[in-house]
Structure 1
Amino acid sequence: MAHKPTSRSAGSDRSRTTPGRAAAVAQLLHHECSVLLELYRKKESFTKDLTVADGHLVSVPPQSSQLDDRDKLWRLHSALLQCRSLLERAAAREEEEFGSGKKGEYETQRNTVKDRLSYLIDSTGELLRAADGKTVSTPDLGVEVKSLFELKLWVYRVFHEVEYWAKTASTTLQELSVSATEAKPRARIPRTRSARSARR
């Protein structure tokens, strides 16, 4: 008979998510995004100096030093949700326009990035709930392209956006990890009685 996790064990699993561990996931995602971009450039014969349009595809409030930890998590979680929506739409459009049914290294890496991104979203969502913050819904991010080449550039821009937010997530979560460590009270070390006082 399969063991069903109790609510107690499920709660303990959620409590294991820390900013430090989530930051490690974000670092890995950033590396995997770099690999995906390299594979896409090779696939489409793009050069490394190809520039993407200014501005971001993701829409969140601007970064500010006045944001508290909960607001930083909310901003990050919202951005990552939008990244996943963009990534899913990019994959769907590619399959629609260029799909051949073959699954090569590029397609495998794209799925790896999506899975890692989803894991990071789950982690930041747990951290946000632990901070008494409300999770957010994913807005509808439409895309309008007039040619196949514009579509390829848009997909490239999406991958850059995911890479950017993976790096931002790593930095933000590392800062939150340091902040959480500094906020913990230090354990007091009990004084030991000296040998002289012990003999009295």
Structure 2
Amino acid sequence: MAGRQRSGGQTGKAAAIARLLHEECAHLLQLYSKRESLPSFAAPGGQLVTLPPLGAQLSPVEKLCFMHAALSECLRLLNEAIKREDAEFPPEEDEYRTQRATVKDRLGHLLLTTERLLMDSKKCAAGVAEVPDVVDNGSFALKKWILQMLQDLVHWSSQTSETLKSLLMETEKAQGRTRRAANRHKGRLRK
């Protein structure tokens, strides 16, 4: 029972981090869109990070495994975007760059937290579009790619938040059943 309680606590913590990350990613996208005068709605060309269709038959833990894989790829792409953006454009400290660092740190923290929840699970993989050689396509192509990457971050952080919320509800239901069964057992022992 202690293991289950700890798992519920870890799941709750991960769910809270995921909710916060999603809000921070949406704010980062808004800051970037405003800064670069680009629309914040989905760019043509689809997502950079993709997953196989996640059917209803998958458990929340199995879905979380795929969300973890998607977010891992998002972190890799974010690191690449930061490197390219800082090389292409003069780094100046502003709200966007501060928010970008916050998102990077929070995403890393969420990945560590969800990894602990998935210790006994199989590994899942996400598909990733090839990172374009933006040198050939100019700075506007880089800006569009960064926009698309940020949209992916918003999408996958939202999906992860929902998955963790489902997992938390499932864990709380299981803990409630365990407590009720333990209370019934105590009641029988007293008689």
- Asked if the contact 2:49/2:128 (under 8 Å) is kept, the reply is no
Q: Which has the higher helix share?
A: 2
Counterpart in the other structure of 1:150: 141
Q: Distance in 1 between matches of 2:35 and 2:82?
A: 14
Distance in 2 of aligned mates of 1:137 and 1:174: 21
Secondary structure at 2:121 match in 1: coil
Is contact 1:40–1:106 with CA below 8 Å preserved after alignment? yes
Which runs of 5 or more structure 1 residues have no equivalent in the other structure? 1-10, 192-200
User: Whose Rg is larger?
Assistant: 1
The residue that corresponds to 1:44 in the other structure is: 36
Contact persistence 2:60–2:166 (CA under 8 A):
no
Runs of 4+ in structure 1 off by over 4 angstroms are 14-17, 135-141
Deviations 1:61-100 (CA, angstroms, capped at 9, x unpaired): 22111112332121111011011011111111101211x2
- Check conservation: 2:29, 2:150, Cα contact below 8 A: yes
Residue of structure 1 in register with 2:78 after alignment? 87
Please report the TM-score for the alignment, with normalisation by the length of structure 2.
0.81
Structure 1 length-normalised TM = 0.78
Matched, 1:159 2:147: no
The match for 1:31 is 23
Mapped partners of 2:116, 2:81: distance in 1: 27
Please say if 1:21 is aligned against 2:39. Answer: no
Instruction: Report how far residue 38 of structure 1 moved.
Output: 1.5
Matched residue count:
176
CA distance change for structure 1 residues 64 and 154 in 2, over 3 Å: closer, same or farther? same
What's the offset of the Cα at 1:152?
0.4
